[in-house]
Amino acid sequence: MNLLEQLAALGLTEYEAKVYLALLSEHPATGYQLSKSSGVPRSMVYEALGRLEARGAALKSEDEKATLYRPVSPAVLLDRYEREARERAASLRAELLPLYNQEESGRLWNFSGRREALAYAGELIDGVTRELMLVLTDADVAALRARLEAAHHRGISLGVILTGDAVFELGQVVRHPKRETELHRMVETLIVVADEREFLIASGHQLTSATVTTNPNMVLIARQFIWMELFAQRIFAHLGPDLLAQLSPEDRQVLH
């Protein structure tokens, strides 16, 4: 996304964004100068400047010869947008949450997008009260580490299966054998089981498909899968070379 698109996401029109960007590198400036440097038609540049002034994004100074404009610092402007967004979100949260009825039908709900999956996982982690059981890739550890650390400090029990090489040492942690990870097609899989109540699974990093459910049977299966993997890896860690030698070559390959 380029700068014009990002400014448009904040609510600026195309002409306002072009004039503001021109102001950043050329100020103080007249409307005529800004029309030439921004590419905004002269008939529209003063309207754009007036809107920027109304938004608190530009300042003007009038004298006998000309009206000059300068931009408000990007730091000041973006701090204002950030503060207003937080205040708006807080107000909406207070008004919308009482309207929301938690879905407990046990249906499977599907959605797409890794960012959306991580956001949902973060909400599950923040709202948990007793236990989290997780399967995490390296990218998931990086994205969710702060929230998992906060959960750990709240006294939440963590059971974590790592499918990559990331370092994570909170709670009960095992590293899934790479060969088994490939066989189970878990290389890009995120799983979160929250309080034996809700279950999220997301697969794929570039193209992500995700499913969430409160279905007690599905939640039980997901939690049991992680619990058994944690248990099995603890047992495997204590197998000596004599016992490993008794396994078939295929089984030995899975454990390495």
Domain boundary pick from 29, 52, 74:
74
For 35, the domain range is 3-74
Confidence at residue 237, expressed as pLDDT on a 0 to 100 scale: 67
Contacts for 160 with CB less than 8 Å, ≥ 6 apart = 133, 134, 135, 136, 168, 170, 171, 172, 173, 174
Confidence at residue 247, expressed as pLDDT on a 0 to 100 scale: 61
Query: Do 123 and 247 fall within a single domain?
Result: yes
Query: Do 56 and 178 fall within a single domain?
Result: no
Would you say the pTM of this structure is higher than 0.75?
Answer: no
Confidence at residue 96, expressed as pLDDT on a 0 to 100 scale: 84
Burial 67-88 (b: 16+ CB within 10 A, else e): ebbebbeeeebeeeeeeeeeee
Residue 89 located in a structural domain: no
Confidence at residue 238, expressed as pLDDT on a 0 to 100 scale: 65
| Structural domain count, the chain | 2
Amino acid, res. 245: A
Contacts for 177 with CB less than 8 Å, ≥ 6 apart = 254, 255, 256
Q: Is the pLDDT of residue 194 over 90?
A: yes
Instruction: List, for residues 10-44, the tens digit of each pLDDT value.
Output: 888 898 888 888 888 888 888 888 888 888 888 89
Give how far Cα 145 sits from Cα of 18, 153, 163, 210, 245, Å: 39, 12, 15, 20, 38
Q: Report the C-alpha gap between 113 and 209 in whole angstroms.
A: 7
Query: Do 122 and 18 fall within a single domain?
Result: no
Q: Report the C-alpha gap between 212 and 117 in whole angstroms.
A: 10
Domain boundary pick from 57, 74, 91:
74
What's the half-sphere exposure (Cβ side, CA atoms, 13 Å) at 58?
Answer: 33
Residue 8 located in a structural domain: yes
Instruction: List, for residues 108-144, the tens digit of each pLDDT value.
Output: 889 999 999 999 999 999 999 999 999 999 999 999 9
Q: Are 244 and 256 in contact (CB under 8 A)?
A: no
Q: Are 199 and 110 in contact (CB under 8 A)?
A: no
Q: For Cα atoms 54, 59, 61, give the angle at the middle one, nearest 5 degrees.
A: 125
CATH number of the domain bearing residue 200: 3.30.870.10
Q: Is the pLDDT of residue 178 over 80?
A: no
Instruction: List, for residues 43-71, the tens digit of each pLDDT value.
Output: 898 898 989 898 888 898 887 788 898 88
Q: Report the C-alpha gap between 101 and 110 in whole angstroms.
A: 19
Q: Are 211 and 108 in contact (CB under 8 A)?
A: yes
- Tokens 């498909």 correspond to 209
Confidence at residue 219, expressed as pLDDT on a 0 to 100 scale: 92
How is residue 189 annotated by DSSP?
E
Query: pLDDT band at 235, cuts 50/70/90?
Result: confident
Confidence at residue 252, expressed as pLDDT on a 0 to 100 scale: 56
Mean pLDDT of the chain: 85
